[in-house]
Amino acid sequence: MTPAKPSTPAKPSIAPAVAASGTGHYPLPIALAGHALPWLAIIAFFFFASGGGYLSFGTTIMIWILFAMSLDLVLGYAGIVTLGHAAYFGFGAYVAGLCSIYLTSDPLIGHAIAIVAAAVLGLVTGALILHTTGVTFLMLSLAIISMMFEFANKAKDITGGDDGLQGMKVGPIFGTFEFNLFGTTAYVYTAVVLFLWFLIAWRLVHSPFGRSLDGIRQNARRMRAIGTPVWWRLLAVYTISAGIAGSAGALSAHSTRFVGLDVLSLLTSGIVTVMLILGGTRKLYGAFVGAVVYSVVQDSTAKISPNFWEFIVGGMLILTVLFLEGGLMDIGRVVRNFIAKIAKRSGVA
């Protein structure tokens, strides 16, 4: 495939969004440093935190990052407003968990099966609901996740219901790297998986396919008019995203050796959406910023009062929507514009 000729003609309305989603407008060294920063932080955290008990906290955050990144593809790039994305995360977690109990203790095989299973679920449910839009779609996504939650709750023989899935046997990765008590294996494994998915997602959103998603988000009717198979494109990205979410679920199941019912809850869907919005959509790195900020805020405020974090997170969400539409990733630009405005005003006066 030659990437030179995008399947969609470049329209002026798409160009700014594409430019804003890349880092092309920074000088190369700064852009490279920007790209290296999150990964260096992940490596640095490994060495600083492996002494204390915080490594598993880091693993959890990376799993949230991966989950939020998968949501970014659907919600940020394709503009599909869903509240049911935890369905695929939870499904992946349960599949990985059940695999390790009944099939094989090899985490890689379980992980692969979980990804495929979640992607198939995304394909089937997406094919059913993607012809709707707006609030109807939102409702259908809620119906899906509610159905799955109730099923997992009732099918105690399979899922353990309220008590969660117990008795997972997770073997060593490649037969050598045991999941140890300190969580070092889980951390490295999660980081590697996150990096691989990030490369795939980055390639995806900067391909003609990704650009066509940009176009669909902005004007689906026009995209249809110029010959883009809108429904197929949306189904494709929905399926891929479901697979990534399932991968995050499998990582969560393997690293904790436990799957709780709450992986399928509406709250999980809500939290991952909050993370993404907080960090900023359509940047992929927004998921990194959002998941870290959310987790740190939750962890530190929960020490003050068990429900204070909900207050803070809710407040952050309201303020983000009202004043910071691009999320925290956008804060530099907002501040710059603000300073420019002040400077201009004082210059005029």
Partner 1 sequence: MLSFAATILLDGISYGMVLFIISVGLTITMGLMRVANLAHGSFAMIGGYIAGYMTQRGYDFYFALLIAALIPGILGAFAEVTVIRPLYRKGELSQVLLTIGVVFVVTAAVTEIFGAFPYPVKFPDYMTRPIDIWFRTYPGYRLFLIAIGSVIALVLWYIIDHSLYGARLRAAVDNSRMAQAVGMNVNVLFTGTFVVGCALAGLGGAVGAGILSPEPSYALKYVVLFLIIVIVGGEGSFKGSFVAAMALGIIDTVGKYFFTEVAAYLLYAAVFVLLLWRPQGLLPPKSVA
List interacting residues with partner 1 (CB under 8 A): 75, 79, 81, 83, 128-129, 132, 134-136, 138-140, 142-144, 146-147, 150-151, 153-154, 266-267, 270, 273-274, 277, 305-311, 313-318, 320-322, 325
Rounded Cα distance, 272 and 270, in Å:
6
- Min CB(280)–partner 1 separation in Å: 13
- Min CB(337)–partner 1 separation in Å: 19
* Closer Cβ to partner 1, 31 or 302, answer by number: 302
> 138-174 burial string, b = 16+ CB within 10 Å, else e?
bebbbebbeebbeebeeeeeebbeeebbeebebbebe
Q: Where are the alpha helices (DSSP H) in 103-133?
A: 107-129
Q: Is 116 exposed, middle or buried (0-12, 13-18, 19+ CB in 10 A)?
A: middle
The number of angstroms, rounded, from the C-alpha of 159 to the middle of its chain's C-alpha atoms is 24
* Closer Cβ to partner 1, 142 or 334, answer by number: 142
3 state DSSP class of 205: helix
Q: What is the C-alpha R_g of the chain? A: 21
- Min CB(270)–partner 1 separation in Å: 6
- Min CB(91)–partner 1 separation in Å: 15
* Closer Cβ to partner 1, 178 or 325, answer by number: 325
- Min CB(104)–partner 1 separation in Å: 30
Q: What would the two tokens of residue 281 be?
A: 């959509």
Contact 161, 155 (CB under 8 A): yes
- Min CB(99)–partner 1 separation in Å: 24
* Closer Cβ to partner 1, 128 or 339, answer by number: 128
* Closer Cβ to partner 1, 140 or 188, answer by number: 140
> Shortest CA distance to 81 belongs to which of 130, 153, 151?
130
* Closer Cβ to partner 1, 79 or 172, answer by number: 79
> Shortest CA distance to 292 belongs to which of 254, 328, 332?
328
- Min CB(109)–partner 1 separation in Å: 30
* Closer Cβ to partner 1, 27 or 134, answer by number: 134
Q: What residues contact residue 210 under an 8 Å CB cut-off, 6+ apart?
A: 77, 204
